Structure 1
Amino acid sequence: MSETVVDLGTVNVPSGVLVLGMAGWIDYWRELGQPLSERARTAASSGGGHLREWLCEAVAIPADDDRPLKVRASTSPSPFDEEPTIATLEISLGRTWPEAADRSGPVRIGDLPVDRCGMVIGDAVVLDAWTGMNDEPANGLADVTFWGRYAEDAHAEFGGERIAQYGVAGPYGWLDLPLAEAAAHAAALTAWCDRLHGRGLMVSIDKHTDYHRFRRAGWHHPLRVGAIDVSGSQVLGIEWDQGDHSMRHHGEREAGQVYPVTLEADETGEMVLRWTIPPYDLNDEEDSGANV
């Protein structure tokens, strides 16, 4: 099967240190003592490296600080639904491979699991300000969505619009509400369901944190990639289809599901950071099962 390469966008790295990290844990680095930017700067000073503490993981590498850096991906079919999924992520670093350095093979700087909450690519200092799932939104807004057995009845009672996501109609709901209004909508929906049905309606309030904003920005991208502004710099986030994640990456590091991150020279001699996720091989699983 021929490889398909997709341009995902660009990131800005004003501090000169690029980070590829697990989106679900970016905001936890500061809770562990030393900020992400300080750890990343130390790793970058020796040419790049892998950062890991508790459940937080990332890689950091020096990068050009005065131009947007291109991000591309090659794809392979998902074993879950055969839709294209990221197989190789490649980030241009805007720097020329040293003339005296060996270009014959990749330089491994670590490995990373695929975080079920997604991955983030951005500037190390900028990501110190990242707001995660449990943080408050800077703009004071939130989205409310509802779905389930009684969603049509709830829509007839309360209104709301279909919110398209990932190529399907998606749940009902309201976007860009002030937090108090979002909470009132969610409370009314929950009380209505409890009174009439007891169960059968799921209601979610998603505050406009950076975590939610990147996921929302990727709702209409075929590879679930979203670009957002964080502290004046562009950051890219990548979400994973949960079915695909369950089949390809389930268990993450605890199950040995980690993938190499390397530093390489592209065809022009420019340095690139490459994260390689091998295509799913059903034959490997069948062979393993046969040997149990």
Structure 2
Amino acid sequence: MSENLISLETVRAPSGALVLGMAGWIDQWRTPGPPLSERAKAAAAAGGGHLREWLCEAVAVPAAGDRPLVLRAGTSPSPSDGRPSITTLEIDLGLPWPETADPSAPHRLGDLPVDRCGMVVGDAAALDAWTGTDGEPADGLADVSYWGLYADEAHARFGGLRIGRSGVSGPLGWLDLPLAEATARAAGLTAWCDGLPGNGLMVAVDPHTDAYLFRRAGWQHPLRVGAIEVGGCPVLGIAWDQGDHSMRHRGERHSGRVYPVTLEAAEAGTKLLRWTIPPHAPA
């Protein structure tokens, strides 16, 4: 590959099936039918394939279960703020490219939209344990953040730390509070603001679900990439910048904004999963 790629975290797939899927819907696979792991293992046994049920989408492929799997990304400037944004995601699957297959001919598995809520890469069986936005935090903790016109006054009265993000100062608040305490602090902020004119303070309570923690794990990464443990395995999450998503991927599959996922031969002779997202092209 002539493209310069950035090394990301590694993941594992002890079940032998690796999934690249839409983060906002991982916990919904078990609602319309069989769990994600069952579907993914069947697709992996057939050499890999695209999975789709209702609004849930993913690609599942066979992968070596006894070693870390290396992820790399190619980037281009975001049309939103000029910061780097992912245009290529590559995963070395640790399995040999078949001797009977042409190494110069990529095998297309299907295509995926960029989920506004982010994307995840991880073991199919581990992802069955994924907790979505409405799930219960396994550690019983939550974060509280607040921002807006009255943020300085609220800070003087209630305290809190600046919650930094990569390249952004971020809101004020507290991390890793017991859920009941987080809820009480948010209620105190809201009650105080209700006595002031206008709607000058926004308050959020974020329980430690996997859907939240994977985005938090990427706060300090320039590509908003971070790894968390799900079901005993490291799972990689990619959270897209909302401005970048709006200009490049908004509408997702409904608007035809989907991007090809292929199996290719790596230079080392192993199978490579590749998701190619074209850079932004001004109209």
Superposed, 1:187-198 pairs within 5 Å as: 187-198=187-198
**Which residue of 1 is the match for residue 182 of structure 2?**
182
Conserved 8 A contact 1:11-1:236: yes
Conserved 8 A contact 1:3-1:76: no
**Which residue of 2 is the match for residue 15 of structure 1?**
15
**Which residue of 2 is the match for residue 200 of structure 1?**
200
**Which residue of 2 is the match for residue 133 of structure 1?**
133
Number of residues of Structure 1 aligned to a counterpart in Structure 2: 282
Q: Gaps (5+ residues) in structure 1? A: 286-292
Partner amino acid, structure 2, of 1:169: S
1:104 deviation in Å?
1.5
**Which residue of 1 is the match for residue 29 of structure 2?**
29
Asked whether 1:70 is paired with 2:66, we answer: no
Equivalent-residue separation in structure 2 for 1:6 and 1:211 (angstroms): 24
> What SS does the corresponding residue of 1:64 show, helix, strand or coil?
coil
> What SS does the corresponding residue of 1:31 show, helix, strand or coil?
coil
Conserved 8 A contact 1:75-1:84: yes
What are the Cα deviations for residues 74-109 of structure 1, in whole angstroms up to 9, with x where unaligned? 111111111111010001100010111111221000
> What SS does the corresponding residue of 1:30 show, helix, strand or coil?
coil
TM-score between both structures, scaled by the size of structure 2? 0.98
Equivalent-residue separation in structure 2 for 1:237 and 1:127 (angstroms): 12
Equivalent-residue separation in structure 1 for 2:105 and 2:82 (angstroms): 31
1:277 deviation in Å?
0.1
**Which residue of 1 is the match for residue 258 of structure 2?**
258
Percent identical: 70
What are the Cα deviations for residues 190-221 of structure 1, in whole angstroms up to 9, with x where unaligned? 11111123411111000001111111110000
**Which residue of 2 is the match for residue 289 of structure 1?**
none
> What SS does the corresponding residue of 2:280 show, helix, strand or coil?
coil
**Which residue of 2 is the match for residue 61 of structure 1?**
61
Equivalent-residue separation in structure 2 for 1:50 and 1:232 (angstroms): 25
1:4 deviation in Å?
3.4
Displacement over 4 Å in runs of 4+: none
What are the Cα deviations for residues 106-128 of structure 1, in whole angstroms up to 9, with x where unaligned? 10001000000000000000000
Equivalent-residue separation in structure 2 for 1:42 and 1:165 (angstroms): 39
Equivalent-residue separation in structure 2 for 1:105 and 1:224 (angstroms): 32
Partner amino acid, structure 2, of 1:146: Y
Partner amino acid, structure 2, of 1:250: R
Equivalent-residue separation in structure 2 for 1:28 and 1:197 (angstroms): 41
Equivalent-residue separation in structure 2 for 1:168 and 1:260 (angstroms): 32
**Which residue of 1 is the match for residue 222 of structure 2?**
222
Asked whether 1:249 is paired with 2:239, we answer: no
**Which residue of 1 is the match for residue 82 of structure 2?**
82
**Which residue of 2 is the match for residue 280 of structure 1?**
280
> What SS does the corresponding residue of 2:221 show, helix, strand or coil?
coil
1:230 deviation in Å?
1.1
Partner amino acid, structure 2, of 1:154: A
> What SS does the corresponding residue of 2:38 show, helix, strand or coil?
helix
Question: RMSD of aligned C-alpha atoms?
Answer: 0.9
> What SS does the corresponding residue of 1:4 show, helix, strand or coil?
coil
1:166 deviation in Å?
2.2
Partner amino acid, structure 2, of 1:264: E
Equivalent-residue separation in structure 2 for 1:54 and 1:197 (angstroms): 44
Equivalent-residue separation in structure 2 for 1:239 and 1:108 (angstroms): 25
**Which residue of 2 is the match for residue 290 of structure 1?**
none
Equivalent-residue separation in structure 2 for 1:3 and 1:240 (angstroms): 21
> What SS does the corresponding residue of 1:156 show, helix, strand or coil?
helix
> What SS does the corresponding residue of 1:185 show, helix, strand or coil?
helix
Q: Gaps (5+ residues) in structure 2? A: none
Partner amino acid, structure 2, of 1:55: L
TM-score between both structures, scaled by the size of structure 1? 0.95
Greater per-residue helix proportion = 1
Partner amino acid, structure 1, of 2:59: V
Conserved 8 A contact 1:3-1:75: no
Equivalent-residue separation in structure 1 for 2:248 and 2:84 (angstroms): 13
Conserved 8 A contact 1:20-1:122: yes
Superposed, 1:39-118 pairs within 5 Å as: 39-118=39-118
